[in-house]
Structure 1
C-alpha cells in the first residue's frame, strides 16, 4: 500500500536502488525509424508521412517567419513529447512529462527566445501588439497590463497544461486499480473494461497534448513578427 498517492510521480523512486527513472526520456529514440535501411519499412513511411503533414501545417502557421528548416524545432518538440507521453502508458516506465521541471524546461527557453527575438528585431510590432486596435484611450493602460501578464504566463500555461493532463489520467487509473483487490469477480471484470477504455483515452490524450503544445508554441512564435 503506497503511503502517498503522488508517489507514482516521484522521480526519486528507484529500481534496484538505482535512480534511473529519468533515463526513460531517451527511450523514445528506439521509436525513431532507421533512416539508413536500403529498403525502408512501413514504420519509416508512416513516420515520414506524419512529419510531412506537420511540416506543411507549421509552415502555414509561421507565415512570414517561415524559412527553410524553421519547422524542424517544432517537429522535434512534437516527437519528444509524443514519445514520452506514449511511453508513460507502459507499466513501470517513468512518465517524465508529468513533471513541471521537464515541461518548463521545454516551454521556457522557447518562449524566452521568441520574446528576445521579437523585442530586439520588432520592438514596434511588440508594442503595437500590447493594445488591440480600436481600444478606448481610458482602457489602454489596463490592456497593456493584461497583455503583459498573458505573455508572462504563457510558458507556465504550456507546462501546466501538459503536466496536469498527464497526471490526471494516471491518477484516475491508479485510484481505480487500487480498489481491485476488494471487488468481486463481476465488478473486477467491469473494472478491467473501464481500465482498458481509460487506457485508450490516455493514448488519445498523449497524442493530442503533444500536438497542442507544439501548435501553441508555433502560434506564439508567429506573433513576434
Structure 2
C-alpha cells in the first residue's frame, strides 16, 4: 500500500528515457510566442500584464543593481508556476515534488547571492554573522548559529516547496481512493468525500501558485541583503 501511494513521486521513464525532461520542457512549449505586430492577441496581452505586475511587485524593494535579475527571476517564476499547476492534471508528473530538483534550483541561486555580497560589500556580509552589541562570551555561539542559519537557507527553500506539493498530492490521492472505495456501498459519504476532494484540488492549485511565488520571493530577499 505504501509503495503504491508514494510511487506517484517516482521519476517515470519510457524506453529508458526519463520523462522528467519532457515534463520540464512542456511549460515552455505552452507559452505564447511573441510576434512583431503592434497589437498582440489576448493571450500575449494577459501574459505581458502578468509579467509586468509581478516584476514590479517583486523588485519594488530592491535597488537598481538588483533589477538586472528580473529576467532570471521572472523565468524561474513562470517555470515553477507552470510545472506546479500542470502537475495537478491526471496522468502527469510533477518534477518539483522531487527534492533533488528543488535543491538544484535553490543552491546555485542562493550561492550566487552570497558571492555577490562577498564581492560588493564583504564587511556588511560578514557583519551578519555577529550582530552589533553582542556579549563577548556569546560571540562564538552566535557566529556558529548565524553560519548554520545561512547554510540552511537553500535546504529550507527546497524542502518547503517539496513538502507542500507532496502533502497536497498525497491528500488528493488518499481522498480520491476513499471516494472510489465508498461509492458502491456508501453513496452519501462518497458524495461528501467528492466535495472535499474538489475543495482540496482548489486548495492545491492555490498552493502551487503561492509556493512558486514564495520560492522566488525568498530568493529576492536573499539578494536584497547582498546588494
- How far is 1:140 from its partner? 2.1
**Distance in 2 between the 1:120 and 1:70 partners?**
17
| Contact residue 113 and residue 226 of structure 2 kept, 8 A | yes
- How far is 1:151 from its partner? 0.6
| Contact residue 61 and residue 219 of structure 1 kept, 8 A | no
**Distance in 2 between the 1:155 and 1:185 partners?**
46
After superposition, give the CA deviation of every residue in 1:144-190 in whole Å (9 maximum; x if it has no partner). 11111011010000000000000000001111112223312222222
**Distance in 1 between the 2:145 and 2:89 partners?**
42
Mean CA deviation greater in 123-132 or 57-66: 57-66
> TM-score when scaled to structure 1?
0.91
Give the aligned partner of residue 61 of structure 2. Answer: 61
Give the aligned partner of residue 207 of structure 2. Answer: 205
- How far is 1:214 from its partner? 0.4
How many residue pairs are counted as aligned between the two chains?
Answer: 223
- How far is 1:126 from its partner? 1.1
Pair 1:166 & 2:168 matched = no
Give the aligned partner of residue 144 of structure 2. Answer: 145
1:23-42 superposed matches below 5 A: 23-36=22-35, 38=37, 39-42=39-42
1:120-135 superposed matches below 5 A: 120-135=119-134
> TM-score when scaled to structure 2?
0.90
**Distance in 2 between the 1:3 and 1:70 partners?**
42
RMSD over equivalenced CA pairs, Å: 2.0
Structure 1 portions without partners, runs of 5+: none
**Distance in 2 between the 1:198 and 1:2 partners?**
21
1:1-225 superposed matches below 5 A: 3-11=3-11, 13-14=12-13, 19-36=18-35, 38=37, 39-63=39-63, 65-67=65-67, 69-183=68-182, 184-225=186-227
**Distance in 2 between the 1:21 and 1:2 partners?**
22
Mean CA deviation greater in 167-176 or 55-64: 55-64
Mean CA deviation greater in 140-149 or 32-41: 32-41
Structure 2 portions without partners, runs of 5+: none
